Amino acid sequence: MQGARHVVCAVSGGVDSAVAALLLRRRGYQVTGVFMKNWDSLDEHGVCTADKDCEDAYRVCQILDIPFHQVSYVKEYWNDVFSDFLNEYEKGRTPNPDIVCNKHIKFSCFFNYAVDNLGADAVATGHYARTSLEDEEVFQQKHIKRPEGLFRNRFEIRNVVKLLQAADSFKDQTFFLSQVSQDALRRTLFPLGGLTKDFVKKIAAENSLHHVLQKKESMGICFVGKRNFENFILQYLQPRPGKFISIEDNKVLGTHKGWFLYTLGQRAKIGGLREPWYVVEKDSARGDVLVAPRTDHPALYRDLLRTGRVHWVAEEPPAALVRDKMMECHFRFRHQMALVPCVLTLNQDGTVWVTAVKAVRALALGQFAVFYKGGECLGSGKILRLGPSAYTLQKGRSTPSMAVEGSGSGRGDSPGRGTTL
């Protein structure tokens, strides 16, 4: 009987998860709300925002008349997400903790808690995303036994669950879900996948959920909040002073507190200069930040990158990529940026070269390249190497870009390029 289906829904104290829980109730499911506390600190006014969010989530569950649970993943978040975040910054990369959080916390810790401790038939979140399964197919997954042992039988027939973009393309959050495991995805419902944000707000307004409707949408890195990013990161990493240097004439323009504080494409705050300068490269050996005078400077544009080992949502690379070793698709490396047409080249170690059809602005090491084809999110890989910038190619330099970082698979193996990376 459908009424007996038990769905455990993550509730954050925001409007999206509140409406997700409401819609699940309307479908006749037995719903339990769970609030995750992942970060343990005060904001700049000495207020713990997690406590306020928890109160709001509790009120949502009271209004919907569903059980409420609170779990703390502060330790797990520190170990699996925040430590990685600091480590990446120290290497001069630009991490995305939201993608890592979904992988390790929401779709691992929370998922296992919901299934093992609360006996969930399925879990749900307020993400704007869809899968290829109907609700009833999701509930059937608990009865499908996974094969024992380390390796699956290659001949095992197992219908892969696809991660599909949301109906509201502007709000689509598959970018943040691109590292989620197949096992978690097959047991997850996304009630907002077919709705627009405006319609979700309308549902909230009509169902006494005004307290979450009035909250500002959470943007940026959750644990930084509204605080100054430089001040925040310098609480954890030692300052490493260096120089701002013009990429055009090697002139020293100013000094900074640490090259890890800057990402490619960002405006550099250089004291005494009125015109804007933008970060185009970082010299890890010297700790210097190279800057260029225009937001569209050719030093900001590249059309080639290499990822680390790709996490494919389907667990295996697309059949066409395995067969041909190359495949056309699209990618993005920031949420909500326009999808970029590209060609993937598969390497033997599971990494890929990504060749953009036209050069893109401000690619940075540590970001995730997230791949799409026909409305489906295929998976993602962390950017570990960058090709030369348009400026470098124009100048005809043969030296590798400073932003390049080896991925341990030899040199000079870029796809059809004369430039050695």
Which one is predicted more confidently, 411 or 417?
417
CATH numeric code, 238-293:
2.30.30.280
Active-site entry in 61, 222, 342, 377: 222
The predicted-structure confidence for 59-90, as pLDDT tens digits, reads as follows 999 999 999 999 999 999 999 999 999 999 99
Contacts of 193 (CB under 8 A, 6+ apart): 127, 128, 129, 130, 131, 164, 166, 167
Q: Please tell me whether residue 263 adopts helix, strand or coil conformation.
A: coil
Residue 217 confidence (pLDDT):
72
Instruction: Spell out the residues 6+ positions from residue 79 whose beta carbon is closer than 8 angstroms to its own.
Output: none
Residues 6 or more apart whose Cβ sits within 8 Å of residue 195? 128, 167, 168
- CATH C-level class of 301-398: mainly beta
| Catalytic site residue from 101, 109, 329, 342 | 101
Of 48-62, 223-237, 285-299, 374-388, which gets the smallest average pLDDT?
Answer: 223-237
Residue 58 pLDDT > 60, yes or no? Answer: yes
61 is catalytic: no
C-alpha 155/C-alpha 173 separation (Å) is 33
Q: What backbone torsions phi and psi does residue 356 show, to the nearest 5 degrees?
A: -75, 145
Residues making up the chain, counted from first to last: 421
The whole-number pLDDT of residue 398 equals: 47
Locate the domains of the chain by residue range. Answer: 6-141+159-214, 238-293, 301-398
How far apart (Å, rounded) are the C-alpha atoms in residues 387 and 96?
Answer: 21
Q: Which CATH architecture has domain 6-141+159-214?
A: 3-Layer(aba) Sandwich (3.40)
| CB burial string 276-315: b at 16+ within 10 A, e below | ebbbbbbbeeebbbbbbeeeebbbbbbbbbbbbebbbbbe
281, 397 in Cβ contact below 8 A? no
Query: For residue 400, is pLDDT > 60?
Result: no
Query: What pLDDT, on the 0 to 100 scale, is given for residue 110?
Result: 98
pLDDT in tens, 191-207: 999 999 999 999 999 99
**Which helix or strand (DSSP H or E) is residue 197 part of?**
helix 197-206
Confidence of residue 346 (pLDDT cuts 50, 70, 90): very high
Give the per-residue pLDDT at 215.
78
User: Within 13 Å of residue 17, how many CA atoms lie on the same side as its CB?
Assistant: 26
- Given phi > 0 = left and psi -120 to 50 = alpha, else beta, which region is 366? left
In 3-state terms, what secondary structure has residue 128?
Answer: coil
Residue 382 CA, distance from chain mean position: 10
Work out whether the CA dihedral 200, 204, 206, 207 comes out positive or negative.
positive
48 catalytic? Reply is: no
